[in-house]
Structures are given as structure tokens and as C-alpha cells.
Structure 1
């Protein structure tokens, strides 16, 4: 290995060993030996990338990943060079298709049933293999699917090629019966300006709904794939209430998240997103139903944790993906980045989490009726809110 590559690899491994949430459980001598062996012929930093990815894989935290310089530049703009869909495991149901993505352009729809991926039956794919394929995209530029379109009797083949598309999806409100406020909150990957816009829009939607005196609120996180949690925190502040209600538990320290008058950040006073002219509910501390699915991941799971232990709150749907853990972003010398899991999430009661969040009321999701009056998860949430409000 050339010196330039060795220095680059050591910088990454030193950071991983010092900050990983699993650092106490790893035999670092064994890990480094295996990683050095993979990079033994590397001449440049770029040729070390596979070895760094291997090191992150060996941590077994299911959340850490590596982004090359091109991916970092795209992420900072809210773009991704992927296939543009998410698939529920092991059922194979398509749960999310990004507008303008290769999947959408190929006619893939939510509710389609995937039977094979790159020639392998759906049953052979684990949730973490799907995450590597569809979220991280390590080494995959092409994807071959066979799927059965929702409501159709035939199977078709689909070829997808990874191309750049926007991942930005805005928060939405929806009109549902029974005087209930409904917010659909997606994940957010993008710039600080986009984070502020997300938070401002979320509070604006709350401002528009609240005058109707809703008897409760539905927070739909079923397609919230995570990334930046702070605009979600700031946006939902009027509903979750002010205070400290979430903790990041690292090996040597704990940090608490807060919301105060439009500001969201880390205690005591590190503000990460600020909403101008923050809204205050006419009737604070309302009943809240939180909806989750297997696609609810990372910051989406932290957003769900905001409501854990809060009176008059209940969760509905299916277990989350299982990464309610905090990542830190470490820039490397060539513009690449380590995104490393450094802390577990803990709710307001102090309970820590490192696995899927189980909803209070498990309800099977019908992806073909998501957000419609025939949505069984939404029906269960509405029924509970009506009873809770009396």
C-alpha cells in the first residue's frame, strides 16, 4: 500500500475506532488486520474506499456508511444517484417511489409486488441487504426486477439504471374526516436552507389546520426514511411541546435534544434549525397518533421517539427499520465522508433503543390504500383519537 493510501485509511480507521457506538464490542486488532489486507495494493485514497466500507460493515451497527465525493456533493443538494424506490422486506411490496427517479420513469408504483431482484427471489434478501442495495448503492449501477403490478394479473421485468434525482419531498397536510389534523412527514436529505424550509412549511401546515380545532393529530412517518432530524423536530415543536424529550447516548457522554419557541437543537443552547414566527397551538398537548412502518428509519425513528412517553400519544402500524441511532458526519481529505453511528437514541423516560420500534397498536399496512379512507392504519388511529378526545 502506498503511503498516501495508508495515511488516508488510518485517518478513517482511527476516527471509527474512537467514535463508533460499538467500539467497546469490536476486536480492533482483528478488524484492522482484515481491512489492511483488503487495501494492501491500494495506490490512492480512492482505491481504499472498499476497505473503509468493509470496516463499517464489520461494525455491524447497520447504520454507518461511506459516501464518495460525488455522493457527498449530490447529498448536499438533496440529490441521490440511486434507483429511487424502497421495498418492504420480506413481503417485497414497493412502499416508496421517488418522483423523477429511475423507478418512477420505469412505471414502478407503490403497492407493486417485487418477486425477484437481480435474479434472486425476494425471500433471499434481508432488510440490511436491501438497505445496502437501495440506500447505500455500494457497487450497483443496474437493477433487474421482476414484479407484479398492483391489482394486475401479470408479471413484468424492469431494468433500472442508477441516475441522479431529487430526494426532496415536502411535508403535506391532508383532509380527513372527524376534525383530525393529518401531517405526512417525509425524510429530508439536503442543505441547511432546505432544512429550514422543511421546518417552516411544517409549522405553516399546523398553523393552517389548528383554527379548525382538531380533536387530535396524526403524524404519518411511514415513508420517513430519515437523514436530517432537526427540521422534523423544529417543525413538530408546536405539537410535541417545548422542553427536552430525546437523548443521544454515546459511550462517554449524553446529549439532549430540545425544542424552544421555534428553535431545535442540542442542549444547552446549540441551535441547529430555527423557525421564524413559530406557531403555538390553541390547545397544547393534544392527543397524537404516530404512524410507522419498516421504511421509518434513522431520523424518522428519532421523530417517533419524540412522542414516546408523552401523555395522550399512541403509535400505530408496523415496526420501524431498526436504526434509532445517531450518525456523525466526518469529512475526509478528498471530499469523501464517513457517516458513523456514534450514539443510541433514548426517549423521555430514559429507555435506549438500537432495534425496531414496536408500535403500541400493531396494524398491517395496505400500501395500495396508503393515506386513503381505506387505509387500515389510519382508520385505527382515527378511531383511537375519537375515543381519546371523548
Structure 2
């Protein structure tokens, strides 16, 4: 009898919770109850840009599998589902699935998000080595440690970039808990990082740090290295609810500093008509000086190319600009901004900090240090021309810095939709292992010194109609510029 009980316990400890993930192998022949989530727009795209199909040719095993295919204008897409699962103590699982990619220049992966009874995300975990390129079927899996108090779990397959990815046979298997222990290194790293957040975060007063530290310690309960504490740190940042603070792991920091000129985003310009020029300023995340210089030169060359004595005005489009590094954006469009104090931040005490000023077309920081100088800084034929600025819900962070640089400027009008609302200023904190904490420590201001901290609203709200070929926001901007004498 005792042997039978032991056998039952062993079976229970390795139970696969397939019943919690419904249609985990897509054998129903359709996508339900999986649902797609992806950006409604990105840049000027009007759809998510991905096709999701369930068919026999996409299967790893059985009769059906699913494929996510980028149709050419998508950024990322994912399919996921929620299920309820409660824990009273620590529990360990293995999440696994099969992935096959074709010409994937980004990556394909699987992930899990876990919420507690208060709806807080206490764990957000992705397979650490996403799959890219063209591959055969590959099983990927990783350990998941659930903390006490879990209430809901979300699992999914995700793809970013071009190409396609097939997904199939996801499992969520409970395994033996084993010993749980945090090393001194991990404890000290986590504690010191939370100390920084508690001391300097702009919205620190809204957080119960005693409770947050307890949950963070649970999330990092089995941390052996500093990297094992990253999910706990990300949880603490989420609790600030500023939606702007974030954490960059060492590999992400290295990628931003890499001189990848070939794939760097580029500004774009065209003449709408002989009197109006349109220029698009995309998101820019690189921190590499060579790549920054290239972006600046490209933007100023476009302005130089299209400037003329007959122009009535310019359209600056920052729709879809999700942010990154604002300084190449500002220096690139310096001819349109003029020699002014274009932006500052305001700390909790109300002091203006981190101001950027233009003088003779060059950007200077508040300590007088110049930023990267263009090879031949351009000056407009007619200074201070009318400018229409276009925004949408994806205009965020450094993209919003560009918007604020035009706020209170004469002969300027804003069109489109409210911005994302990440108008807090992030301070960079370099940690001992090469990771970087980007912490919102102040609120952005416009050139008049007015602080924000939320969404920026246009003068004319225009929701782009995806059923039309016209760009209604551009049309409204053109109409305004043409009405000026």
C-alpha cells in the first residue's frame, strides 16, 4: 500500500497540466481559445501585419499546427490564452513547446506571464534563447517557479520581425520542487537595486515597498546569480505603474551600443506639394555614436534637400515613434526647432534638470557639454517656418520629447491622436553586472517649463480610418498649412 502511495505521489509531481492549456496542440483545427494580440498600428501601418493560420502543413505532430506569418508590414504578434491556477506555496513547472521558423529575421519564442490575486504580474518569463533564421522543428523549454498567491497564468507563442514561425504542442508540466535557496550575491544585488528604486523613482510614494520587497524576494527565492534576480527587479519596476521605467539586461545594453549601421532606422522625407514638405522621424534606440551621427546627417540632409524659398511649412511625423534615444532625433531636426531651450525635466522638488538647449544649430546639455556636431549644420532659408506635428498612441518616451520640443513654438499645430503618455524622464543607472536600470525620476517639460507626466493631446484629434487609402492626419495638416498666409 505504501508503495502505491509513493507511486501516486511521483505521478502527481510530474503531472502535465494540459487540461489548463486548452487546444494546446491545435488539434481542434482552429485557433480558439487562443487569441492574437499585437499593435493595432506601428508607424504608419494600419493593421497588425500578421496572418495566423491553423493547418496540417504547420503541425509538428498530430493533424494540425499554427503559423504566424508577417505579411510585410508587421512588427510583432503573439497568440496566448489565460487560465486560472492558484498556489499556496512554491511550485515548480516546466513550460515547453515546439517551434519551426522560416526566414525569421527577428525571433520566435514562447513565454509565460503570472498574476497574483491582486492582478499584479509577479512573473514574466520568456525562453532565453529565441529562435531565428530558418530552422527545423525544435523543442524549447524552461523552468518556471510559481510563488505563493498565484491566481492566473497567461501562456503564449510570439514572433517578432519578418518571415514566419510554426508553433505546436505546448505543455505545462509540474515537476519536483527541489531545494529553494538564494545566494548572498543575488540577495545583495536585488536589495541594493530596490534601494535605488525606493530612493529615486518619481512615483516612489505610490508603492508599498515593504510588501513589494517581500514579493520580490519570493520571485528571486531560488536566485543563484545576479541575472536570476532580473524578474524580481522587473516586478518592482512594474509596481511603480509609470509604464516607463524598465530594465535592460547586459545583452540588450550591448546590442544598443553595437555599430549596426546597416539596419539602423532612417528618417524619410518627401514633398507633398511644392509648398509643403513631410518628414518622418522614426524611433531610434542605438547608443552607438557612429550610428547616431548617421541618423543626424540623414535627417539634416533631407531638410537641406527639400528646403526652398517657396515653402509654406513642414510636417513632422512622429507617429509610431516609440522612443529610444531622443538626442539624434532632436539634433537631426534642429533646423526646424530654432535656437532655444527645447526641453527640460522637472524633479519632485520642482527643480528643472537635464535641460537641452540649441545654439547656432547645435545641441548642448545643461552642463554646457555639446552633443554630436553635424558635419555641416544646416540653417533654413526661412527661419521659424510653420510646422504641423503628427502624433498617435504609439508616440512615446523620446518620441514625446520631440513633440514637447515643438510645444509653445510659434506657428506650430498638432494633429492626430493623443500620445502614449510616457512623458517622464528616465535616468540611467549602471549596475555591477552590466545591466542598466532605466528609472523614471522626473517629469518632462516643454520649452516654457510646463511639466507633463501624461499623454500629450493634439490640437486637432483625428483617428486614422483604416478602411481608406488616404492618410486623414496628413490631409488635415496640409489643409492647415495651405490656409496660412
> Aligning the two structures, in what range does the TM-score lie when normalised by the shorter sequence?
0.7 to 0.9
Q: Work out which of the residue numbers 236, 240, 257 in structure 2 matches 1:59.
A: 240
Counterpart contact for 1:262–1:277, Cα < 8 Å: no
Q: Corresponding residue for 2:384?
A: 285
- Do the aligned partners of 1:262 and 1:276 also contact (CA within 8 Å) in 2? no
Retained in 1: the 8 A contact 2:270–2:306?
no
Which of 191, 199, 202 aligns to 1:10? It is: 191
Residue of structure 1 aligned with 2:326, choices 226, 229, 236:
229
CA RMSD of superposed structures (Å): 2.0
Q: Which residue of 1 aligns with 2:217?
A: 36
Number of equivalences:
301
Would the alpha carbon gap of residues 78 and 14 (structure 1) be closer, same or farther in structure 2, given more than 3 Å must change? farther
Q: Which runs of structure 2 are paired with 1:88-99 in the superposition (5 Å)? A: none
Trace 1:13-162 onto structure 2 (pairs within 5 A).
13-77=194-258
Matched residue, 2:149: none
* Structure 2 residue ranges without an equivalent (≥5): 1-181
Cα offset, 1:268, TM superposition:
4.2
Relative to 1, partners in 2 of residues 1:367 and 1:301: Cα closer, same or farther, differing over 3 Å? farther
CA apart distance, 1:367: 5.2
Rounded Cα–Cα distance in structure 2 between residues aligned with 1:222 and 1:207: 23
1:25-67 per-residue CA deviation (whole Å, 9 max, x = no partner) reads 3332232222223223322112111100101011111011112
Alignment of 1:343-354 (within 5 A): 343-354=442-453
Higher helix share: 1
Q: Give, in whole Å, the separation in 2 of the partners of 1:22 and 1:282.
A: 45
Q: Distance in 2 between matches of 1:215 and 1:57?
A: 45
RCO higher in 1 or 2 (8 Å CA, sep ≥ 6)?
1
Report deviation, 1:75: 2.4
- State the match for 1:375 in structure 2: 471
Partner of 1:307: 406
Structure 1 residue 76 displacement after superposition: 2.2
**Alpha-carbon distance change, 331 to 37 in structure 1, aligned in 2, over 3 angstroms:** same
- Indicate the residue corresponding to 1:91 in structure 2: none
Larger radius of gyration: 2
Contact 2:309 2:381 in 1 (8 A): no
1:83-108 superposed Cα distances (whole Å, 9 cap, x missing partner): xxxxxxxxxxxxxxxxxxxxxxxxxx
Structure 2 equivalent of residue 187 of structure 1: 283
Gaps of 5+ in 1: 80-164
Contact 1:290 1:313 in 2 (8 A): yes
Take 1:208 and 1:367, find their aligned partners in 2: how far apart are those partners?
32
Secondary structure at the aligned position of 1:302 is classed as helix
Residues 274, 310 of structure 2: 8 Å contact kept: no
Question: How far does residue 376 in structure 1 lie from its aligned partner after superposition?
Answer: 0.8
| CA shift for structure 1 position 166 | 7.9
Specify the alignment match of 1:110 in structure 2: none
More strand by share: 2
Name the CA distance, whole Å, in 1 between partners of 2:466 and 2:373.
34
Is residue 78–residue 168 contact of structure 1 (8 Å, CA) maintained in 2?
no
2:37 maps to which residue? none
Moved over 4 A (4+): none
The aligned residue for residue 209 of structure 1 is 306
Please state how far the C-alpha of 1:284 moved relative to its aligned partner.
Answer: 0.7
Q: How far apart, in 1, do the equivalents of 2:274 and 2:372 lie?
A: 33
Structure 2 CA distance for aligned equivalents of residues 365 and 237 of structure 1: 28
Asked whether the equivalents of residues 12 and 52 of structure 1 are also in contact (C-alpha less than 8 Å), the reply is yes
**Match of 2:335, SS?**
helix
TM-score (norm 1): 0.73
